[in-house]
Amino acid sequence: MMDFSLNGARLTALPSGALWWGEMRLLCVSDLHLGKSERMARRAGTLLPPYEVAETLTRLESDIAAHNPAKVVCLGDSFDDLMAGQGLDQGARMRLTVLQAGREWVWIEGNHDAGPLDLGGVHLAELALGGLVFRHIAAPNLAASGGEISGHYHPKVRLAGQGLPAFLLGQARLILPAYGAYTGGMLADRAPLQGLMGPRARALALRGGKILQVPLP
């Protein structure tokens, strides 16, 4: 785990790729892309082992059990498309129902899942809370005094020839890594990530259950 501050909020990056806000008892994850294997088979005929939903939900169950959040925020692209969300099997739906029990659950709208699904919780375009705004895609002209948490880009950094998922932390914004299995990524030195992060930005790279702090070029 690694603690840091953003716009006065004390936050913790978790090795799973989730974000914990202890004061608010809030757990945030981004880009679960549930149903990606089903969507790829349906649209392109590409067959992948259909295990990514179970793997992603198992990781989420572990984080929720460890922290017992009062609120869970899913930062968009929680489903690989709306049909993938509608097509979740009964077992996955039941697991989500159990995870939602006794806590607030917020689905932020993403570009893949731009619409509500009948899976419990509330569906919002973005969420403002305690000086932070949670949205799917980073705003290009965010004020330096702002505090924004977003996802969408699946950021990675390259260390020793290996691409590692990473949180990207700047003065006014944080971009989360993709939480879901079977998700790709974008290296942090590529546009538009390089333009979004600004001076003195750093990456919190995930490797082997540890978090490594890396300055961004």
Task: Walk along the chain (217 residues) and give the pLDDT tens digit of each residue.
Answer: 999 999 999 999 999 999 999 999 999 999 998 875 555 554 555 544 556 788 899 999 999 999 999 999 999 998 866 566 666 788 888 999 999 999 999 999 988 676 677 888 999 999 999 999 999 999 988 876 679 999 999 999 998 888 999 999 998 999 999 998 767 789 998 888 988 998 889 999 999 999 999 998 7
Asked if 1 and 211 touch (Cβ cutoff 8 Å), the reply is yes
| Nearest 10 degrees: Cα torsion 118, 120, 124, 125 | -50
* pTM of the model as a whole: 0.91
Helix (H) or strand (E) holding 22: none
- Note the pLDDT of residue 22: 98
Query: Which CATH code, of 1.20.120, 1.10.3110, 1.10.10, 3.60.21, is assigned to 2-215?
Result: 3.60.21
| CA distances in angstroms from 206 to 60, 164, 169, 210, 213, listed in the order given | 16, 6, 14, 6, 9
pLDDT at 183: 74
User: Structural domain boundaries of the chain?
Assistant: 2-215
Work out the number of other CB atoms within 10 angstroms of the CB of residue 140: 8
pLDDT of residue 47: 45
Given this model, what pLDDT does residue 198 score? 81
Q: How far apart are CA 51 and CA 45, in angstroms?
A: 17
